[in-house]
Amino acid sequence: MGAQNLVADHLSKLENGEKGNSLSDQFPYETLYAVTTGSLPWYANIVNYLVTTEFPINLSRAEKEKISAQAKYYLWDEPYLWKFYNDHIIR
């Protein structure tokens, strides 16, 4: 026997006029989480390097070498960032 579809059961009760459980606006374990928007996406430095061929000022030498090594696999065709894969397909 398969698993029950609780969503379908709930919807079928509503259509038949039966009262189901009402939704509650109270959450027993409410927690406030902060979302920070200060961090850049993972590809931001690669795109900036592809467009301007310059590195950000605050990067170390190792980080600059990593970006330049990664950038050879990417192509920036605004507004898309394409990647060259080993099977010679651009995605």
Specify if 8 maps to a domain.
no
Is 16 a domain residue? no
User: Any bridge partners for residue 76, and if so which?
Assistant: 81
Q: Is residue 38 part of a domain?
A: no
User: Mean pLDDT across the stretch 19-29?
Assistant: 65
Residue 4 lies in a domain: no
Is residue 18 domain-resident?
A: no
| 30 HSE (CA, 13 A, CB side) | 3
Q: For residue range 70-85, list pLDDT tens digits in order.
A: 999 999 888 888 998 8
Domain count, the chain: 1
Domain that holds residue 63: 44-83
Task: Answer yes or no: is pLDDT of 89 > 60.
Answer: yes
23-37 average pLDDT score:
68
Predicted model pTM? 0.53
Is 76 among the domain residues? yes
Report percent pLDDT > 90 for the chain. 18
pLDDT higher than 90, residue 61: yes
In this structure, the number of other CB atoms found within 10 A of the CB of residue 36 comes to 5
